[in-house]
Structure 1
Amino acid sequence: MSDTLKIGLPKGSLQDSTIKLFAKSGWKINLHHRNYFPDVNDEELNISMCRAQEMAKYVEDGILDAGMTGKDWILENNSDVVEVSNLVYSKVSNRPARWILAVAGDSPYMKPEDLAGKKVATELLGVTKRYFEEKGIDVEVFYSWGATEAKVVEGLCDAIVEVTETGTTIKAHGLRIIDEVMQTNTILLANKEAWENPWKRKKIENINLLLQGALKAEKMVGLKMNMPKNALEKAMNMLPSLNSPTVSDLSDVNWVSVEIMVEEIAVRELIPQLMDLGVEGIIEYPLNKVI
């Protein structure tokens, strides 16, 4: 087979959610114990599992044609790649994460400028150095190999730059956020030469199309119901929908079947309102993709 796309998927915290997202998009990935090269039900794909921190470098160097990693690691490595699209998802939520500047809860530091001459620990070394340089603040930034939150508590540094989604872990360690360094989310990226190859570009674009459809579907559900025809006009003004609802006649001329796609969070308010209109047989079902 002449045409194969080499794509890297992130190991670590995003691994399970990425494999689940690909499954919803149509690609079944089977991991093997202690093996970085899983099987996939697509002969045109060659998948490698890589650390998110190294992904952009592998894509830039052409070891991989495409990959998924955080915007933070693209900037950290100053990688010269094509950012195909944002894929806003994570292990616990469908939203970006934040790299924040935090200090001990009882420290006197209230703003970044207060850290002049102090020590800052982080895994995101390059981005953090540029952040302080742009603000004109002279600090000592050093690399943290893990357990970064504990370094402030242990007195090894005066502040940290660490990634968080909700801030819960930061607060649990008795730390206080004094600034946001950057927001980050997962990016689908491509090697520049691969992007210029028509076959590879089309393959990457098709993968992106289906991934985006699966992500959109995560927040939506389908609703199907039987509705009295005389309630249809009022219901049309009430029903949120991606497009106009699908309305079909039933054997009983006084009733119609209505089908819509709505955001899942809206259903808890919508169903009681529909019941008040005399709607019956409401069925809610999950969606795999919305394109």
Structure 2
Amino acid sequence: MCESDDLGGFARDNNGMTRRRFGLAAVGAGLAVGLPKLAIAGEKTSGKDVEIKTSAGTCDAYFVHPAKGKHPAVLIWPDIFGLRPAFKEMATRLAGAGYAVLVVNPFYRSKRAPTAPEHPDFNDPPTREALMALKNSLNADTASVDAKAFVAFLDAQSSVDTRKKIGSSGYCMGGPLVFWTAAAVPERIGAGATFHGGGLATDKPDSPHLLIPGMKAQFLIAIAANDDEKEPAAKDTLRSAFAQAKLPAEIEVYSGTKHGWCPTDSPVYDHDQAEKAWARMLVLFGKALA
């Protein structure tokens, strides 16, 4: 599972069924018939740009939820290219499946979104340097501050069912942020999903996988094939850590995928495998956040 070097490759290249279960079933059907990305929404949604006060400043974010009722919440951490239309669309799609979804600008301490140029070239040295500086400004401590503030925001929303656990998903550098979130607020985070997450299991003393014993969340870890080729032992380290902590975890290498295959605006977006990963996320959330 990648760290910064793999980002270069990313740049290159009805039966009483609940709405949430309807969304899950529709995703499964979409895998077979190739539904458009946003066509499966089972709920009308309401979304808006929001600002969240933290002890480190004001975070700009996007909050979207079904137009009626209370629902489990989900916190989305974007990849290194930050909060942008593709992630707002993904959040809206998830809200259509019955969740109250917050997608944040993880780099709010440095700048408001957009934090990356349109169609960024990660092989361009100034662009790469600027993006890596933003990524390197985040760590377990900043994530703990942010996770607590974001969970508090979600729990204060009338559309959020606080009786249910919260889910968190993260892409690329958002993978460690999901781990740090689950460890920072274990009593609220019931599910974590990472997609081509970078640096989840390393030999460093602050490796995210070392926080697993302090978590209470079930996990989905979707690994890019080319990340696994570079670090084939990482998945086994993760499996062992989750097993020792007695936490359910689905850890899978997605055949033929390249790092960054899930966001819809990615140059290596893989529709079929992204839909498969999305469906598995909904299975997890439907089970762990019920």
TM range (shorter): under 0.3
TM-score, structure 1 as length reference: 0.24
Larger radius of gyration: 1
TM-score, structure 2 as length reference: 0.24
Q: Specify which structure has the higher proportion of strand.
A: 1
Q: Specify which structure has the higher proportion of helix.
A: 2
